[in-house]
Amino acid sequence: QKYDVAVLGATGAVGKTMLEVLAQREFPINNIYALSSERSAGTTVEFGRRELIAQNVDDFDWSQVQIGLFSAGGSVSEKWAPVAAEHGVVVIDNTSQFRYDDEIPLVVPEVNADALYGFRKRNIIANPNCSTIQMLVALKPIYDAVGIERINVATYQAVSGSGAQAMEELAKQTAALLNFKEAKAEVYPKQIAFNVLPHIDVFQDNGYTKEEMKMVWETRKIFGDANIQVNPTAVRVPVFYGHSEAIHIETREKISAEQARELLAKAPGVVVMDERANGGYPTAVTDAAGKDDVFVGRIREDISHPRGLNLWVVSDNVRKGAATNSVQIAETLVREHF
């Protein structure tokens, strides 16, 4: 069977990648519609070897499609996801708009595909935040084997997570500085080139940022564990594609680095790169960018805690962190639920 699919936000970094991944993975598509705001309507986007013209979502007839992949900002999803859902469209939403709604599944197929059984309640499925996705793909096998009580994580997040203007800012600042000119900070509050900013999304009353709290809220919902303790620090780094994470967990039962390595090597969606030698670890630029896997290295027992384990986790934030996870949800749906 083939499906009629719409991508809303088709001219943005994630939307373009959704189209790229749908084509690359040969998702069974009958008709494909690229949807955008009025401002971006008319823009040409690629779908495999085809070119699509982005249509204004305001004029779109949702009865034409069965699946909608959304990534055009929370307010756009808030407006159009219920409209599409009422037409029977299954919406897979990459924004944070619906993630914390108890009636809406928040899904990483390798981690909690069973949560999809509830999707018909609202016909909306939420795609988790990129920094949560890669962390939980890596932690799932360990969580199932020995339980996890606490997660400390520091993230090193690429500027593509902020969108095209942020990528342009990094490039412009870098060029300016290399030419002994002043680096102007407009997208970010401070210079990002050759610098790191401990600030992603808005500050909360507890001193954490919303990006950090998303990792707490989403980990608990996806693992179905209201008691797991999560302590993130989310940092923006001068990298274009690929988020990196230094993860320190406290497990319920002791697990050795070797046991963890063996579990991870068999885990779906995980690639272990863990040699204690030069280059024996994954990095965003050399290994993760452009790929769909979650790469894990620097696996070692925590010398400061009897049941502690440390991991270094890297993944392409636009692909597995957004577009590919969304397409994998759609693949799981058509394979098992439609």
Residues placed in the known binding site: 11-14, 39-40, 99, 157, 160-161, 236, 317
DSSP state of 128: P
For β-strands 67-70 and 294-301, DSSP reports them as unpaired
Residue with tokens 């756009």: 76
* Least separation in angstroms between CB 76 and ligand 2RA: 15
What does the alpha-carbon distance between residue 22 and residue 25 come to, in Å, rounded to a whole number?
5
Report CA Rg, the chain. Answer: 20
Whether 5 and 31 have beta carbons less than 8 Å apart is answered as yes
Which residues, at least 6 apart from 51, have a Cβ–Cβ distance to it below 8 Å? 44, 45
Per-residue contact string for residues 21-60; x = within reach of ligand 2RA by CB under 6 A? ----------------------------------------
Task: Map residue 126 onto helix, strand or coil.
Answer: strand
87 assigned to active site = no
Query: Which one of the listed residues 87, 130, 248, 337 is annotated catalytic?
Result: 130
Note whether 135 and 153 are within 8 A (CB). yes
Nearer of residues 151 and 272 to ligand 2RA, judged by Cβ: 151
270: contact with ligand 2RA by CB under 6 A: no
How many Cα atoms occupy the beta-carbon half-sphere of 108 within 13 Å? 32
- From residue 282 to residue 321, the character string flagging contacts with ligand 2RA as x (rule: CB under 6 A) and all else as - is -----------------------------------x----
CB of 14 to ligand 2RA, least distance (A): 8
The mark string for 203-232 relative to ligand 2RA (x by CB under 6 A, - otherwise) is --------x---------------------
Q: Which of residues 111-130 bind ligand 2RA (CB under 6 A)?
A: 129-130
Least separation in angstroms between CB 301 and ligand 2RA: 29
> From the annotation, which residues make up the binding site for substrate?
157, 236
Please give the torsion angle defined by the CA atoms of residues 262, 267, 270 and 276, in that order, rounded to the nearest 10 degrees.
Answer: -10
Smallest separation (angstroms) from ligand 2RA to the CB of 293 = 18
Q: Is 305 a catalytic residue?
A: no
Residues contributing to the annotated binding site for NADP(+) = 11-14, 39-40, 160-161, 317
Q: How many residues bind ligand 2RA (CB under 6 A)?
A: 9
* Two structure tokens written together for 142: 């360990």
> How many angstroms separate the CA atoms of 3 and 337, rounded?
14
Sheet holding 67-70, edge to edge: 55-56, 29-36, 3-8, 67-70, 90-93, 124-126
Which one from 87, 199, 243, 248 is the annotated catalytic residue? Answer: 243
What is the chain's length? 338
* Among residues 200, 271, 314, 329, the one that binds ligand 2RA under rule CB under 6 A: 200
Which residue has its beta carbon closest to ligand 2RA?
Answer: 161
How far is C-alpha 180 from the chain's CA centre? Answer: 36
- Pattern of binders to ligand 2RA over 142-171, x per CB under 6 A? ---------------x---xx---------
- Residues near ligand 2RA (CB under 6 A) are 129-131, 157, 161-162, 200, 211, 317
Q: Could you list the active site residues? A: 130, 243
